[in-house]
Structure 1
Amino acid sequence: MTDTEIPAESLPKKAKKPVSETRETIVFLLKLSIVVLIFRSFIFSPFSIPSESMMPRLLIGDYLFISKWNYGYSKHSLPFSIPLIPGRIFARNPERGDVVVFKAPPGNDQDYIKRVIGLPGDKIQMVHGQVILNGKAVPKQRVADFTLPLTPNYDARACPSEFQDVDAKGGAICRYPRFRETLPNGRSYDVLDRGEMPDRDETGVYDVPAGHVFLMGDNRDNSGDSRFPAEENGPIGMVPLENLEGKAVVGFWSTDGSASWFLPWTWFTAARWSRIGQGF
């Protein structure tokens, strides 16, 4: 070693750059956001029920998961319908009886939920409140009335006076006539029918065009669905298959609307526990 050489161990060590906790937090949140975005866009997504159009199967205050892969993917699979997916990829048609979430025509900017009744090429008509599918009546059997306690999520203003009643304990309820429909593929489900309403129960024949589906709400007399021309914030007309976002699979929470954020114990008393975990 010459006089000018300095031992390596005696050289000053380079100070490590301090790691910014703020930067680490931001990077973590960005990664988490990407994971959540991918999960919600392509695997499962939550959905809450805002209206009574799918009673008795779905009530206001129900929360459910929808699976996103069943019918393929389009721009409507992504948040805010970002146009990153051209057309519809991995496309598959739904089955009659599926409960689907979709972007509602004509604006294609609001999420609705309805049941698939008609597929491309089908002919559908309503006669005396009964679905006629490709010339054959869909069986409709009277079953026990549907009763629903009156709560903040569905109060006396929502239930017409002629359907208001009391249960065995004297509690205020809404009581609707209920029927069981069975489609040709064997899928059965309950519907509500309050009585003869000519504009809803008597229609012409609808021809479902290619690339579209005919959707209806189970609450037949209170559903703006494919029986009516599409209007903003109203009926939906025929729905393009590209608008389908996913299929309802299971309910994970349900509340009657009586809970208060400031009273945590009411979160439990307001829960409709029997509805949690119900599949489709």
Structure 2
Amino acid sequence: MNFALILFVLVVVTGVAWVADKLVFLPKRRRAAEAAVAEFDRQQARIGERFADENAAQTRARLRDDKLRQPWWLEYSASFFPVILVVFVVRSFVVEPFKIPSGSMVPTLLVGDFILVNKFEYGIRLPITNTKITQGRQPSRGDVVVFRYPKDESVDYIKRVIGLPGDVVEYQDKKLTVNGKPVPETPLPDYLDEERLGYAKQFVQDISGHKNAILNNPAVPPFIVGAEDFPYRDNCTYNARGVICKVPPGNYFMMGDNRDNSADSRYWGFVPDGNIVGRAFFIWMNFSDLRRVGSFK
């Protein structure tokens, strides 16, 4: 389900109703209210002061309110337009919420984390078409990015940027190298992976100044099993030690922090710039652990 499209349709429908109310229906209701009040005043004048309504002011107000009241179908359309418009604009151009559905970004992001994604840092894009209308900055190595999955663009994925256009990314013997330079890793205490009920080796990697924790299971072999066919697959060389890829222009190489539990660019290829949604930067809720709320690297 394309929520952006649904929201856009709601904006259009409620917006048309709102404009029609302001230009057509509201003036008609005002004329009807003025006519009702005028008719009431004429009746009061005919019956004379002796039999006049003692609560004339309240009656006039009630008549006016009754005639000015929106019909139910207009109340539930035009009245919601400002709220829906604000939600649409904020979600499309400022920040958008997402929920983490899998453990591919453990230990950085856990299943059940609700995150916010910056929608303007990499350039503002039109909703639905995702066409970029402002340039913004290029994603950096180490950024955590939400993007439309190249194999099914109705699905959103979240991974970490490892390779930029033109980079040579090597993942050999479970060690990461970018443009011939090994990415430094500092050991941390083993991490208890509750999803798999076991411990994994944990490291802090430093990629272009971005430091973040990653998991690596030495029991899992280094070679890639089940790599699919994808655009620019000829840019990648698969061997018993892993994979080496040169990132094509306008594309990015993405990996999950949970290296042995992540379907990423090693398996299904590169992410085109047009698929980028935005940079994830904040956990705004995790109902299982409120301590998770806050920014992350």
State the TM-score, normalizing by the size of structure 2.
Answer: 0.69
C-alpha displacement of 1:87: 5.0
* Structure 2 residue runs without a partner (length 5+): 1-37, 44-59, 225-239
In structure 1, what is the equivalent of residue 192 of structure 2? Answer: 147
SS in 2 for 1:94: coil
In structure 2, what is the equivalent of residue 274 of structure 1? Answer: 291
Whole-Å separation in 2 of the counterparts to 1:137 and 1:143: 18
Pair 38,132 (structure 1): closer, same or farther in 2 beyond 3 Å: same
Within the alignment, does 1:66 sit opposite 2:117 as a pair?
yes
Whole-Å separation in 2 of the counterparts to 1:48 and 1:55: 14
Would you say how many aligned residue pairs link Structure 1 and Structure 2? 222
Within the alignment, does 1:95 sit opposite 2:145 as a pair?
no
In structure 2, what is the equivalent of residue 246 of structure 1? Answer: 278
Whether the 8 Å contact between 1:74 and 1:242 is mirrored in structure 2 is no
Whether the 8 Å contact between 2:172 and 2:244 is mirrored in structure 1 is no
Whether the 8 Å contact between 2:122 and 2:135 is mirrored in structure 1 is yes
* Greater helix fraction, Structure 1 or Structure 2: 2
**Partner amino acid, structure 1, of 2:211:** S
C-alpha displacement of 1:204: 3.6
In structure 1, what is the equivalent of residue 68 of structure 2? Answer: 18
C-alpha displacement of 1:203: 2.6
Pair 71,225 (structure 1): closer, same or farther in 2 beyond 3 Å: same
C-alpha displacement of 1:21: 5.4
Whole-Å separation in 2 of the counterparts to 1:238 and 1:279: 25
Q: Which 4+ stretches in 1 moved above 6 angstroms?
A: none
State the TM-score, normalizing by the size of structure 1.
Answer: 0.72
Within the alignment, does 1:47 sit opposite 2:98 as a pair?
yes
* Structure 1 residue runs without a partner (length 5+): 1-7, 165-173, 231-236, 256-270
Aligned-pair RMSD on alpha carbons?
2.4
In structure 2, what is the equivalent of residue 260 of structure 1? Answer: none
C-alpha displacement of 1:30: 2.3
Whole-Å separation in 2 of the counterparts to 1:247 and 1:95: 10
Within the alignment, does 1:128 sit opposite 2:145 as a pair?
no
Pair 11,272 (structure 1): closer, same or farther in 2 beyond 3 Å: closer
Whether the 8 Å contact between 2:190 and 2:201 is mirrored in structure 1 is yes
SS in 2 for 1:198: coil
Pair 207,88 (structure 1): closer, same or farther in 2 beyond 3 Å: farther
Structure of higher RCO (CA pairs closer than 8 Å, 6+ residues apart)? 1
**For each residue in 1:38-81, what CA deviation from the matched residue of structure 2 results, as whole angstroms up to 9, or x when unmatched?**
11010011110000100111111111111111111335xx2xxx
